[in-house]
């Protein structure tokens, strides 16, 4: 195994693994620059009968190259997007994306069968100074129609997509015309043929909504496919693929800095990211304010106003959570919180809370729990040197209170942030990715035809 892995190396060896395991496949999409340059994920179509072999094959592959499967997204009823990570020589985490499907099914309709795409497949050999690679691709007319159907159905046809389509078209014009006639009427087929031949797709781009509507209208609707898709969406709601991470710590512990870094470094493992400060705020973007230089400088509120504040917070952390945070998690989002409700009973003076602490703690048990709670731990004396906002004695008290609270949580982690920034970032990333890997392993059983 090489000291430095790359997408191209992993893709080449994944193809070899599939062949060794008897998995009949084709690589779909734009593979003109393989394996030197992989533009996005590695799109593979396999026979439905081979789905049972997929997970054992991927597990063996990951074990050999020290990869972790940290995310599995079933984005269609017969399509699974895997996020695999590894740690490079630079100590940073890298990602590899196998995207495996069988029949191309969307909106209760089957666009293309896997057997159709696999029939007449061609072995493509790449022999360059950098790397040797061999893999199967569909016949040109199958590659053309598959890619065109996907782009039209998604309503997006970029310049790079257009040049690839025209290239495949010119390899098999007659066969590609027959493919087009199966999905569109003569005027639409003529427009698509002219675009593919001239590599001038402006008219097609303007007509994408009409072409998509006609495409879906010409395909038979299947109640069975539709029911399976509803089942898949319910599963995504019941078991969201996003992750809710909270960073805690006194002022000066480095929460904002760490969050900013891990939001960027972990983003490739998710569809999107979102950051909150303290509360969901009903999903509204909170106006950024200057840092509080004297958090204990204002007087504590009275009992009545403190109880009202506690009620507002509890509603925001429950109803606001389900209105804002939970939908993000369903959409495979990395949700990061800088502080959380738990800060209130630990440091009530900061929030001017003058009510009973036992009630604040009780309310904290009745709100949705994050997936991970990470405490950035820094000695009180160093906190005082970083931000002299509270007395050293108060920093000691807060540090102990945070330790006691996070230490009782089954999903709590305490990370020393008194060392270098890079070390802390890597530790936080490792906590998140390990959690995701354990969760992914538990969901591998759902990968089935």
27 - beta bridge partners? 44
Query: In this structure, what token pair is assigned to residue 256?
Result: 């904002």
Q: What is the mean pLDDT of residues 186-199?
A: 95
* 449 occurs within a structural domain: no
Give the domain-ending residue among 174, 209, 239.
Answer: 239
How high is the pLDDT of residue 182?
93
Residues 177 and 78 in one domain: no
Contact 28, 85 (CB under 8 A): no
Same domain membership, residue 407 and residue 302: yes
* Same domain? 187 vs 324: no
On average, the pLDDT of the chain sits at 90
Q: What is the pLDDT at residue 292?
A: 65
Tokens of 320: 């606001």
Asked, for residue 321, whether it belongs to a domain, the answer is yes
Convert 12-25 to b/e letters by CB count within 10 Å (16 or more is b).
bbbbeebeeeebbb
Pairing of strands 42-46, 98-101: parallel
CATH number of the structural domain spanning residue 432: 3.40.50.300
Q: Which of 142, 113, 117, 107 is nearest to 217 (CA)?
A: 107
Beta-bridge partner residues of 245: 336, 372
**End-to-end Cα spacing for the chain:** 33
Collect all residues with Cβ–Cβ distance below 8 Å to 338 and sequence separation of at least 6: 247, 255, 256, 259, 275, 276, 277, 278
Mean pLDDT of 420-428: 89
Beta strands in 118-223 (DSSP E): 122-127, 132-137
Both 223 and 246 in one domain: the answer is no
Residue 388 pLDDT > 70: no
Residue 71 and residue 175 in one domain:
no
Tokens at residue 423, please?
């070390």
Give the model's pLDDT for residue 387: 66
pLDDT-based confidence at residue 289 (cuts at 50, 70, 90)? low
Domain harbouring 49, CATH code: 3.30.460
Instruction: Using the structure block, give the residue that is written with the tokens 């014009």.
Output: 173
Give me the number of domains the chain comprises.
3
- Measured CA to CA, the distance from residue 180 to residue 202 in angstroms comes to 18
Do 298 and 410 lie in one domain? The reply is yes
- What's the sign of the alpha-carbon dihedral 370, 376, 377, 379? negative
Cβ atoms within 10 A of the Cβ of 104, count?
Answer: 22
Coil/strand/helix, residue 45: strand
Mean pLDDT of 225-254: 91
Q: Sorting pLDDT into bands at 50, 70 and 90, what band is 410?
A: very high
Higher pLDDT, 69 or 293: 69
Segment 294-351, tens digit of pLDDT: 778 788 899 999 999 999 999 999 999 999 999 999 999 999 999 999 999 999 999 9
Residues 127-165: tens digit of each pLDDT: 765 567 889 999 999 999 999 999 999 999 989 899 999
> Quick one: pLDDT band at residue 418, thresholds 50, 70, 90?
confident
Looking at the domain assignment, is residue 446 inside a domain? no
* pLDDT tens-digit series, residues 373-384: 999 998 877 776
pLDDT at residue 143, rounded to an integer: 95
pLDDT at 87: 86
pLDDT at 215 over 70: yes
Is 182 buried (19+), middle (13-18) or exposed (0-12) by CB count in 10 A? exposed
Structure-block tokens of residue 11: 């893709």
**Which residue range is the domain that position 32 belongs to?**
1-138
Q: Is 129 in the same domain as 174?
A: no
The token pair at 43 is 């799109």
| pLDDT greater than 70 at residue 358 | yes
Give percent of the chain above pLDDT 90.
71
Claim to verify: residue 78 and residue 207 sit in the same structural domain: no
- Bridge-based pairing state of the strands 79-87 and 93-96: antiparallel
- Picking from 219, 239, 259, the residue at the C-terminal end of a domain is 239
**Among residues 211, 239, 267, which one ends one of the domains?**
239
- pLDDT for residue 437 is more than 80: yes
Same domain, 395 and 325: yes
List phi, psi (to 5°) of 112: -145, 145
d(CA 401, CA 419): 22
Half-sphere exposure of 75 (CA within 13 A, CB side): 17
Rounded-to-integer distance, Cα 131 and Cα 144, Å: 27
Express each pLDDT in 232-246 by its tens digit.
Answer: 999 999 999 999 999
3-state secondary structure of 272: strand
Q: How far apart are CA 261 and CA 243, in angstroms?
A: 17
Asked if residue 3 has pLDDT above 60, the reply is no
45-77 b/e with 16+ CB inside 10 Å = b?
bbbeebbeebbebbeebbeebebbbbbbbbebb
Give the residue ranges of DSSP H helices in 199-332: 202-206, 208-218, 223-238, 255-266, 303-320, 326-330
Token pair for residue 209?
A: 């909504």
Kindly state whether residue 165 falls inside one of the protein's structural domains. Answer: yes
Residues 343 and 403 in one domain: yes
Q: Which residues contact residue 287 at a Cβ distance below 8 angstroms, ignoring those fewer than 6 apart?
A: none
Residue 448 lies in a domain: no
Q: What is the helix (H) or strand (E) element at residue 412, kind and residue range?
A: strand 412-416
282/319 same-domain check: yes
User: Is omega for the bond preceding 35 within 30 degrees of 0, making it cis?
Assistant: yes
Phi-psi sector, 352: left (phi>0), alpha (psi -120 to 50), beta:
left
CB distance 174 to 167 below 8 Å: no
User: Which pLDDT belongs to residue 47?
Assistant: 94
**Rounded distance between C-alpha atoms, residue 424 and residue 91, angstroms:** 12
Band (107; pLDDT cuts 50, 70, 90)? confident
Q: Are residues 435 and 409 in the same domain?
A: yes
């Amino acid at each position: 195994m090489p000291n430095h892995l790359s997408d191209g190396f992993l893709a080449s060896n994944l193809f070899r693994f599939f062949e060794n395991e008897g998995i009949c496949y084709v690589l779909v999409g734009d593979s003109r620059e393989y394996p030197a340059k992989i533009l996005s994920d590695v799109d593979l179509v396999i026979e439905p009968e081979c789905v049972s072999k997929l997970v054992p094959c991927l597990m063996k592959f990951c074990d050999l190259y020290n990869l972790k499967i940290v995310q599995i997204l079933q984005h269609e009823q017969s399509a699974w997007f895997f996020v695999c990570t590894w740690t490079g020589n630079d100590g940073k985490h890298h990602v590899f994306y196998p995207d495996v499907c069988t029949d191309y099914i969307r909106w209760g309709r089957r666009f293309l069968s896997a057997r159709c795409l696999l029939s007449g497949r061609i072995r493509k050999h790449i022999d360059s100074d950098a790397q040797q690679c061999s893999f199967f691709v569909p016949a040109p007319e199958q590659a053309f129609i598959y890619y065109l159907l996907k782009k039209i159905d998604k309503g997006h046809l970029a310049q790079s997509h257009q040049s690839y389509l025209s290239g495949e078209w010119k390899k098999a014009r007659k066969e590609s015309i027959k493919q087009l006639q199966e999905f569109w009427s003569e005027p639409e087929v003529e427009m698509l043929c002219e675009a593919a031949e001239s590599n001038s797709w402006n008219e097609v781009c303007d007509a994408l909504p009409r072409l998509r509507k006609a495409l879906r209208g010409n395909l038979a609707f299947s109640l069975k496919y539709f029911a399976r898709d509803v089942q898949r969406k319910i599963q995504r709601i019941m078991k969201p693929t996003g992750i809710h991470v909270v960073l805690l710590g006194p002022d000066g512990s480095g929460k904002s800095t760490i969050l900013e870094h891990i939001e960027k470094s972990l983003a490739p493992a998710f569809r999107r990211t979102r950051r909150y400060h303290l509360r969901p705020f009903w999903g509204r973007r909170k106006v950024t304010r200057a840092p509080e230089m004297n958090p204990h400088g204002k007087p504590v509120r009275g009992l009545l106003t403190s109880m009202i504040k506690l009620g507002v917070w509890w509603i925001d952390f429950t109803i606001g959570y389900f209105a804002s945070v939970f939908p993000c998690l369903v959409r495979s989002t990395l949700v990061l919180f800088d502080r959380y409700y738990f800060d209130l009973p630990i440091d009530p003076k900061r929030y001017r809370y003058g009510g009973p602490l036992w009630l604040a703690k009780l309310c904290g048990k009745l709100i949705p729990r994050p997936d991970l709670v990470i405490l950035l731990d820094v000695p009180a004396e160093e906190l005082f040197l970083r931000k002299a906002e509270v007395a050293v004695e108060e920093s000691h008290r807060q540090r102990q209170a945070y330790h006691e609270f996070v230490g009782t949580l089954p999903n709590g982690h305490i990370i020393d942030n008194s060392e270098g920034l890079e070390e802390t970032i890597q530790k936080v990333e490792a906590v998140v990715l390990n959690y995701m890997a354990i969760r992914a392993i538990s969901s591998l059983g759902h990968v089935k035809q």
